[in-house]
Homo-oligomer: A and B are copies of this chain.
Amino acid sequence: MKRFDLDYYITGLKSQNNVVLAQAITLVESKRKTDQEIADQLLNEIVKGSQPSIRIGITGTPGVGKSSFIEGFGSYLIDQGKKVAVLAIDPSSQKTGGSILGDKTRMETLSRNPQAYIRPSASGNTLGGVNNRTREAVLLCEAAGYDAIIVETVGVGQSETLVNNMVDFFLLMIQPGSGDDLQGIKKGIMEMAHGIVINKADGDQAKLAKQSKKDLLSALHLFAPSETGWSTQVELCSALEKTGFDLVWQMVQSFQSAMRSNSLFEKNRSSQNVSWFEDRANFGILQELVDQPKLSALQQELVLKVRQNEISVSKATEEMLSAVKELLT
């Protein structure tokens, strides 16, 4: 990887240079200490400088048509005067190590549009949890002038909460007929979603899609209303026939103005940043402590005892905590 100084990145982002944007994301994802230092400075520089944006998270089971939707919806947004960045998050690749088919190939038209930036998800870099750098990538895209950021969950699993914690609007995509087995959709995801879009509402499935919308809306009535006062909306679309993008966008926009009217939009972003800070600080603190020779020796000893069933987990925890207390006094 090529390395540059702080000014290079700042100037490049300000001039909306996509090559520099890609380099900056790579910098942020790097695990080298010197890279991380420049990355921290860069992120601190850009934290106040970006224009208003909307961050949209999209989830849905594989096969539901997320890529085709993003391809079409992204182009629609560009027609509305937006600059569109697409990021993907795939914690599931942690286990299988399987790399996702190149995102750029999946979204051919969009990737050729100069108003779009698509970041292929490198399975090695985009670790799940606190190590994930997608949040930082969002900030970098915004600094480079992108004002519609789409974060897609590629793997299915724990990624929904992760994405929900970094976007303004969370969109669940399903296909016609899913109304029947709504029980199959995790209730937690239904509760998270600000909007649901039923894709493939075309041809033979158009009628079924309408029925699904009805089913979904009555199912949504079962949930307690969100604290924000927003009720989850359901729209139909067809990524194939390029219909319904306007409805989805209207849904996002009415959410946005509802949230902005009582400052909930900004409050949500601030709270997201605070939890992100707390997560990262906690993670770092624990690493710091493990680096203490005395503690790491005790921990190894306790791990061994727990492994050999010589001590209960509770007791081992207690001993570990006593040692930490001592170190701190």
Residues of A within 8 A of B (CB): 39-40, 43-44, 46-48, 61-63, 92, 95-96, 135-136, 139, 155-158, 161, 181, 183-188, 191, 224, 270-271, 273-274, 276-278, 280-282, 284-286, 288-289, 292, 299, 302-303, 306-318, 320-321, 324-325, 327-328
Contacts and interface: CB of A to CB of B under 8 A. Distances in A.
A261 B217 CA distance: 53
A96 B190 CA distance: 13
Nearest to A307: B270
A261 to B, nearest CB: 20
Contact of A281 (B281, B310, B321): B321
B292 A277 contact: no
Contacts of A43: 312-315
30 contacts: A40-B312, A40-B315, A43-B315, A44-B312, A47-B311, A61-B183, A61-B184, A62-B183, A63-B183, A95-B188, A135-B313, A156-B187, A157-B186, A158-B161, A181-B184, A184-B185, A270-B307, A277-B306, A277-B313, A277-B317, A280-B313, A280-B317, A281-B302, A281-B316, A281-B321, A286-B286, A288-B324, A288-B325, A292-B328, A327-B328
Given A270-B307, A303-B278, A285 B183 contact: no
